[in-house]
Amino acid sequence: MALVCWIFFMNIFGFSFFKESPKSFFLHDFHTSISEAEYNESNKQFEVSLRVFTDDFEEALAQKNKIKNLKLDKNSKYNDLIEAYIKENFYFTDSKNKKLPLIFVGKELDVDVTWIYFEIPFNKYNSGYSITNSVLVELFDDQVNLVNLKYKGLKKTYLLKTNKTTTSLTLQ
């Protein structure tokens, strides 16, 4: 009886249990990615870890690559698609607006989030560098991408949104 009442209540308020997939039934209300970019002086590169909600990231990869029911797992089946997506949506540019190379390291799934790891070679800072993070902005108008950057003792946080996906790097 309690289950019938619950389903009736959910249907009255527009949450149809039978019309929606279980995945869409438990959606989160905020759209945020967080990345940590830490400069490794000995390797002359930024080591980046990017955290995204797995369901959102799967949707972005599926739409971009026209794959129905794309499901990430621990194997490397979609690593080439992840690498291409990250290279297109997260990058540094130099003063000549040239993208710096990105080296995909791997991914790690943890309950409802996916960690994506990559490196960006970075020999020497000059003014005119910028960072772009447009991860998932094609899906959500309210997407917010935080980039926590550590460079030679300096710590900065960059807030990038759907309407502002690029900002200048200020590392001095």
State how far the Cα of 67 lies from the Cα of 77, in Å rounded to an integer. Answer: 13
**Cβ atoms 142, 162 nearer than 8 A:** yes
Q: Report which secondary-structure segment, H or E, holds 85.
A: helix 79-89
**Structure-token pair, residue 71:** 């499901």
Closest listed residue to residue 117, CA positions, set 106, 109, 125: 106
**pTM, full prediction:** 0.81
The secondary element (H helix, E strand) that includes residue 130 is strand 130-133
User: For residue range 71-112, what is the model confidence (pLDDT) as tens digits?
Assistant: 999 888 899 999 999 999 999 999 999 999 999 999 999 989
